[in-house]
């Protein structure tokens, strides 16, 4: 069975750039009948918090993603330690004692000589006595993985044939001097132990893949299938990070965007499919072919998100909007007629509250075209108002004044709503009611 994973660190809120791999993995699992694992890579004890962990879960649920499996890296330290011991025993994990300053000076010398700034494996030349002397000084080793000087190749789900020349890389540090793990080893151990079959992640991990394939092999673990998709940027081409709060999933949710609009743009932009509002996950999963994703960065434009969101809201049935309208304080007995009258003028559902204030008042009327206003007041029909009231009323005003088009409708809109634009007044007028309509046309705030 296909098993994929999304493995964020709970050190901040998810942003739209994180939503892309989360969705691509979840959709791949849905399309292949597989399972989706949420794994919290929380080995950074200083920065990881339970509040951020809970926020990640909430954001995924909002996107429509319900993980089939859940794991925390912090619960698996014994497995990481066992893997490290196996690598040490195999001679693939070795201790190094250089400080950051010493490594930086060495890199500068290499660059000055026109050499690649990769680690020179000086630690491998230390004798047991020299290592003991360094530890007696108080130095504690960090541990590097000994890369084989070969090219690692794989068939990438997105990029096709891919390779990394590991001879051009420094042996990566897997364990810090304080004994804590960097991302690389726990990720491999957990992927192997949890049966991950496909690793779908951003193209910024391509070099990591060359290293991790060697670690999988050194541990005798099956190597998963890899896919490296293009990254999302802002509309201006800026890379995404947790500091861009307005593009956090929490920020987008609080701004009133529909999860389907966010999903659609996060997944379809930079793919072979035209960007459009796709309301359900099954349809979206059927549209995504990883092999057809562009190699160029994909720009996430909030103006485009507004358009997608508006299309979803315009087509939203009342049954889907009802609970949210109730939260906005719109009376249940009038909510359906109100929703059908205003939804075509909304970008986000929450904007309905503004139009309810126009309906319920008070509104400061703006009076123009005295002849039209006078005729409107004289011919205002008795209640009950219905769907045909607006047409019958404006026809009578036209006959009396000769006004038509904008000259007829704009003075009435300004008087009834105080605004130059808005929903079709045929739908709003029955909601405003005769009493308020008469007062507004007479120039009273109502």
Instruction: For residue 247, name the pLDDT band (cuts at 50, 70, 90).
Output: confident
**Distance of alpha carbon 193 from alpha carbon 211, whole angstroms:** 18
Instruction: For residue 246, name the pLDDT band (cuts at 50, 70, 90).
Output: low
Region of poorest pLDDT, from 294-303, 327-336, 398-407: 294-303
Task: Give residue 222's pLDDT.
Answer: 98
Task: Give residue 436's pLDDT.
Answer: 97
Instruction: For residue 124, name the pLDDT band (cuts at 50, 70, 90).
Output: very high
Residue 234 pLDDT more than 90?
no
| Distance from chain centroid for Cα 380 | 51
Domain positions in the chain: 3-78+182-232, 90-152+164-175, 234-314, 318-360, 370-441
Q: Is 407 exposed, middle or buried (0-12, 13-18, 19+ CB in 10 A)?
A: middle
Assigned token pair, 10 = 């709970």
CATH 3.40.50.200 fits 90-152+164-175, yes or no: no
Residue 163's nearest CA partner among 175, 150, 178 is 150
Task: Give residue 321's pLDDT.
Answer: 98
Residues 6+ apart with CB under 8 A from 422: 345, 355, 358, 413, 428
Q: pLDDT tens across 302-326, in order?
A: 999 999 999 999 999 999 999 999 9
**Distance of alpha carbon 262 from alpha carbon 252, whole angstroms:** 8
Residue 146 pLDDT more than 80?
yes
Residue 239 pLDDT more than 90?
no
- Do 191 and 225 touch, CB atoms closer than 8 A? no
Assigned token pair, 286 = 């059927």
Residue found under tokens 């020179």: 120
**Distance of alpha carbon 347 from alpha carbon 350, whole angstroms:** 9
Backbone angles phi, psi at 228, to 5 degrees: -120, 105
Residue 68's nearest CA partner among 17, 2, 157 is 2
What percent of the chain is predicted at pLDDT more than 70?
99
Residue 177's nearest CA partner among 99, 79, 114 is 99
Q: How many helices (H) and strands (E) does the chain have?
A: 18, 12
CATH of 370-441, one of 3.90.25.10, 1.10.10.350, 1.10.3720.10, 3.40.50.410: 1.10.10.350
DSSP string, 153-190: EEEETTTEEEEEEGGGSPPPEEE-TTS-B-SHHHHHHH
**Distance of alpha carbon 66 from alpha carbon 259, whole angstroms:** 14
Residue 305's nearest CA partner among 296, 313, 297 is 313
**Distance of alpha carbon 14 from alpha carbon 223, whole angstroms:** 28
What percent of the chain is predicted at pLDDT more than 90?
93
Q: pLDDT tens across 280-292, in order?
A: 999 999 999 999 9
- Same CATH topology for 3-78+182-232 and 234-314: the answer is no
The mean pLDDT value of the chain amounts to 95
Instruction: For residue 347, name the pLDDT band (cuts at 50, 70, 90).
Output: very high
- Do 318 and 333 touch, CB atoms closer than 8 A? no
Task: Give residue 168's pLDDT.
Answer: 96
Instruction: Report helix angle 50-63 to 259-268, nearest 10.
Output: 90
Backbone angles phi, psi at 435, to 5 degrees: -65, -50
Q: pLDDT tens across 41-93, in order?
A: 998 888 899 999 999 999 999 999 999 999 999 999 999 999 999 999 999 99
Residue found under tokens 């072979």: 272
CATH 1.10.240.10 fits 3-78+182-232, yes or no: no
**Distance of alpha carbon 281 from alpha carbon 29, whole angstroms:** 11
Q: pLDDT tens across 403-416, in order?
A: 999 999 999 999 99
Residue 191's nearest CA partner among 19, 59, 41 is 41
Q: pLDDT tens across 5-35, in order?
A: 999 999 999 999 999 999 999 999 999 999 9
Residue 245 pLDDT more than 80?
no
- CA-to-CA separations, 278 to 57, 154, 285, 308, 309, in angstroms, rounded: 22, 33, 10, 9, 10
Residue 244 pLDDT more than 70?
no
- Do 65 and 96 touch, CB atoms closer than 8 A? no
Task: Give residue 240's pLDDT.
Answer: 74
CB half-sphere exposure, 334, CA atoms < 13 A = 17
First to last CA, the chain: 64
- CA-to-CA separations, 440 to 81, 85, 409, 411, in angstroms, rounded: 76, 82, 15, 12
Query: Where does 234-314 sit in CATH, by number?
Result: 1.10.1160.10
Radius of gyration of the chain (CA): 31
Q: pLDDT tens across 372-425, in order?
A: 999 999 999 999 999 999 999 999 999 999 999 999 999 999 999 999 999 999
DSSP string, 90-120: TT-EEEE---HHHHHHHHHHHHHTT------
């Amino acid at each position: 069975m296909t098993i994929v994973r999304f493995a964020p660190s709970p050190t901040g809120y998810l942003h739209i750039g994180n939503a892309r791999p989360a969705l691509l993995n979840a959709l791949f699992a849905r399309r292949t009948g597989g399972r989706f694992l949420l794994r919290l890579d929380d080995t950074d004890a200083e920065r990881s918090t339970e509040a951020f962990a809970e926020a990640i879960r909430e954001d995924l649920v909002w996107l429509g993603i319900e993980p089939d499996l859940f794991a925390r890296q912090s619960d698996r330290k014994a497995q990481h330690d066992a893997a490290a011991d196996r690598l040490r025993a195999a001679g693939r994990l070795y201790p190094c004692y250089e400080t950051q300053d010493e490594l930086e000076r060495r890199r500068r010398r290499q660059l000055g000589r026109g050499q690649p700034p990769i680690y020179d494996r000086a630690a491998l030349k230390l004798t047991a006595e020299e290592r003991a002397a360094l530890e007696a000084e108080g130095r504690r080793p960090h541990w590097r993985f000994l890369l084989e000087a070969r090219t690692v190749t794989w068939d990438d789900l997105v990029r096709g044939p891919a390779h990394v020349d590991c001879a051009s890389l420094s042996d990566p540090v897997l364990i810090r001097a304080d004994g804590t793990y960097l991302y690389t080893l726990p990720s491999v151990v957990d992927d192997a132990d949890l049966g991950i079959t496909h690793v779908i992640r951003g193209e910024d991990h391509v070099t990591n893949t060359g290293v991790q394939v060697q670690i999988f092999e050194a541990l005798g673990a099956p190597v998963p299938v890899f896919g490296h998709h293009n990254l999302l940027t802002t509309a201006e081409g800026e890379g995404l990070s947790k500091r861009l709060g307005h593009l956090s999933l929490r920020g987008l949710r609080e701004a009133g965007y529909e999860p389907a609009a966010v999903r659609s743009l996060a997944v379809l932009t930079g793919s072979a499919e035209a960007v459009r509002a796709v309301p359900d996950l099954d349809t979206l999963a059927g549209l995504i072919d990883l092999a057809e994703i562009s190699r160029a960065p994909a720009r996430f434009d909030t103006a485009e998100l507004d358009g997608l969101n508006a299309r979803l809201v315009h087509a939203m049935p009342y049954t889907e909007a009802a609970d949210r309208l109730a939260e906005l304080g719109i009376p249940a007995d009038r909510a359906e007629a109100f929703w059908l009258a205003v939804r075509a003028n909304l970008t986000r559902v929450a904007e309905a509250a503004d139009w309810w204030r126009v309906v319920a008042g008070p509104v400061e009327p703006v009076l123009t075209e005295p002849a039209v206003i006078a005729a409107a007041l004289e011919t205002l029909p008795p209640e009950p108002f219905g769907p045909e009231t607006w047409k019958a009323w404006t026809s009578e005003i036209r006959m009396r004044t000769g006004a038509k088009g904008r000259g007829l409708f704009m003075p009435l809109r300004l008087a009834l709503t105080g605004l130059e634009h808005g929903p079709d007044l045929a739908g709003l007028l029955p909601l405003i009611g005769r009493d308020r309509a008469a007062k507004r046309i007479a120039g009273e705030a109502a």
